[in-house]
Amino acid sequence: MSENILQTSDAAFERDVLQANLPILVDFWADWCGPCKQIAPFLEDLAVEYKGRMIVAKLNIDHNPNTPGRYGVRGIPTLMIFKGGQIQATKIGAMPKSKLYSWVDESL
C-alpha cells in the first residue's frame, strides 16, 4: 500500500475520518474485489494531486466489518467523502479516472 493513502480501521475510523481536519475520501474495498483493484491507481493519483486539500483513506471491509455496516455499504467499491464528520457524497462501483476526479471536484 501507498504512504499517500491512509489505512483506517473500525477502531481508528472515528479519529481518522470523523475527526479529520480536511475532507476525506474513504474507499471501502476488499482484496478479492476486481473493480476495487481497477480504481486503486486512480485513488493513489488523487491522494498525491489533492494532498493538503483532501485525504484519501481505505478501509478493508473483510478486516473491518463494523464500519461498512454502520454506513450501509452493500457493494464495493463504495467511495464516501466525509466533511466535518458527515457524509457529503457517495459513489458505488468503479469509474473512469476522469469521472472520479469530476465527482471529487463537485463534492469538495
- Cell reading at 67: 464500519
Mean pLDDT of 54-73: 97
* Interval 21-60: pLDDT, tens: 999 999 999 999 999 999 999 999 999 999 999 999 999 9
Q: Any idea which residues carry the catalytic annotation?
A: 33, 36
pLDDT at residue 71 above 70? yes
Note the pLDDT of residue 2: 73
Note the pLDDT of residue 9: 98
Quickly name the fold that domain 6-103 has.
Glutaredoxin (3.40.30)
Note the pLDDT of residue 1: 55
Q: Locate the domains of the chain by residue range.
A: 6-103
- Beta strands 6-7; 55-60: pairing state: parallel
Return d(Cα 102, Cα 96) in angstroms, integer: 10
